[in-house]
Structure formats: C-alpha cells, structure tokens
Amino acid sequence: MFKCKGRIHIEPPFYCDYGYNIEIDVNFYANFSRVILDVNKVVIGKNVMFGPMVQIYTASHPIIAEERIKGLELSKPITIGDNAWFGGGVIVCPGVTIGKNTTIGAGSVVTKDIPENVFAAGNPCRVIKKLK
C-alpha cells in the first residue's frame, strides 16, 4: 500500500486510487472517511492530523469540454508539511503545498499553496492569521 516511516492511525473508511503514491512520515492521525486520490505523489509530513472527511485530490481533468471528453486525466503532486492540522471536510486540490505548523479550518477548499505557521480557512482557502 502506501509508504510509512512510523506510527500512524487511520480511522475507517479510507479510500485511495493506488496507495503507492502516498508517503506518510511518523505520528499521523486521520479521523473517519478519508479520500486520497493519489494519481500523483502525496507527501505527508510528521505529526499531521486530519479531521473527518478530509479529501486530498492530485487528480484533475481538463476544463475544456472537448479535451475532457477524450478521457484525459491530469495530476499534480500535493505536499503537506510537518505539524499540519486539517479540520473536518477540508478539500485539497491538485498541486498544492501546505506549509509546516499550519492549521486549515474546517470546510476549507485549498486551491493554492498555503505558507507555514498560519491559520487559513474558507472557500477558496486563504490565510486568516499568522501563528506564533
């Protein structure tokens, strides 16, 4: 399945495309109902926590209908830094990097990179405040 460096706990159910594109460092906790579409690489740092129903999507499709109808699939990697915490229902879109020590508020849709040491939330997700 996925590559893991140490202690992790994932509450069921857990869904992924392949599994072998997921790398998890030590001390990872994921609450119920996880989806990780790992068409591309997903790297999760140390001490990361996911609330329930967090969804990580590396996969995408062309926005132009004629291209999409051809069955093309796109993907971009996702990186989640050490000590990140995601509230329930967070969705992370393809190509996003989340900085270390960052908290993402419940229900957020992360469409762009989020720096380290911040609290970010919303749809689309944006930095609300810097953390000490």
φ/ψ (deg, to 5) at 116: -75, 160
Angle at 123 between CA 55 and CA 97, to 5 degrees: 55
Quick check: helix, strand or coil at residue 67? Answer: helix
DSSP 100-122: TT-EE-TT-EE-S-B-SSEEEET
DSSP state of 74: E
Active-site position among 5, 7, 61, 112: 61
Active site residue 9: no
- H or E element: which one contains 68? helix 65-69
The tokens for 17 are 């495309």
Q: Cite the active site residues.
A: 61
